[in-house]
Amino acid sequence: MLRITDLVKRYAGGDPVLKNLDLTVEGESVVSIIGSSGAGKSTLLRCINKLVEPSSGSIVLNGMELTTLKGRKLREARRKIGMVFQGFNLVDRLTVMENVQSGRLGYISTWSAISRRYPKQDIRRAYELMERVGIAHYADKRADELSGGERQRVGVVRALMQEPEILLADEPTASLDPKTSEQIMQLLRDLARELSLPVLINIHNVAEARQYTDRIVGMRYGRIIFDGPPAELDETAMDRIYSGSPAADRASPQPEPVS
């Protein structure tokens, strides 16, 4: 379970990007975060894996408080937080297998990583996951020879190689064509079920959020102003998420988190 309580992120000299935010994600649920650019969606994900440092508040993953971790303990905790990126973040000159194995860097020795001598069980697991997402036949191809959808599948497998306790996805379909976007969203949904893995997705495409996720969180000006199943995301909620004024949001209480 991921439990976020009273989370604030403020950059020097500016207003808070996240404002006393509460959120709980658990089980095998697939949760989408929607909202206009600047709502704080990406900042929220980056606070969870501490790519940016929260200003205050609590982020607890399966009983571990993440906000206080530093050094080795932080690196160990990050192994349990898989991340799928909009821009794929692959090393183009490396093969698919080598990119996938980078998900094991937190588990193997520096020498094994540099020499690319991966443990047999890691190679076996990589093939299993690549077969599951349909890219096993690309294992020895360079990453820059793949299509966008294939590259994103590599990114998904790399994240799963970490043996994560939660999977974060930051605009995973933004660089893809509509058909491939739907395939990636269906894949994330299926993997959540198969691996009993909670998935938190930052996404602009509301139609995909409605179709492929179990729960939608709507953000505006750093606050959660909608939290519920897709069926409850009506026009009134959409207006508040995408057209609401800062003053209206300050006057509205944050909705009760869905667990």
pLDDT tens for 216-250 read 999 999 999 999 999 999 999 999 999 864 444 44
What is the pLDDT, as a whole number, of residue 13?
76
State pTM to two decimals. Answer: 0.90
What is the pLDDT, as a whole number, of residue 247?
44
Q: Per mean pLDDT, which range of 104-113, 134-143, 186-195 is the poorest?
A: 104-113
Confidence of residue 253 (pLDDT cuts 50, 70, 90): very low
Tokens of 36: 């206009």
Confidence of residue 252 (pLDDT cuts 50, 70, 90): very low
Half-sphere exposure for 161 (CA within 13 Å, toward CB): 32
What is the pLDDT, as a whole number, of residue 47?
96
Q: Per mean pLDDT, which range of 7-16, 58-67, 143-152, 241-250 is the poorest?
A: 241-250
What is the pLDDT, as a whole number, of residue 115?
75
**Domains in the chain with CATH codes:** 2-244 (3.40.50.300)
| Average pLDDT rounded to a whole number, residues 85-89 | 91
Where would I find the beta strands (DSSP E) of the chain?
2-10, 16-25, 30-34, 56-61, 64-65, 81-84, 166-170, 199-202, 215-220, 223-228
pLDDT at 259 over 50: no
pLDDT at 17 over 70: yes
**Proportion of the chain above pLDDT 90, given as a percent:** 81
| Average pLDDT rounded to a whole number, residues 144-169 | 96
Q: Report the run of H or E that residue 186 belongs to, with start and end.
A: helix 178-195
Confidence of residue 163 (pLDDT cuts 50, 70, 90): very high
What is the pLDDT, as a whole number, of residue 111?
75
Residue 58 CA to residue 87 CA, distance in Å, equals 29
Rounded to a whole number of angstroms, the distance between the first and last alpha carbons of the chain is: 9
- Rounded mean pLDDT of the chain? 91
Residue 2 CA to residue 65 CA, distance in Å, equals 10
What is the pLDDT, as a whole number, of residue 255?
58
The answer to whether the CB of 59 falls within 8 A of the CB of 51 is: no
What is the pLDDT, as a whole number, of residue 15?
86
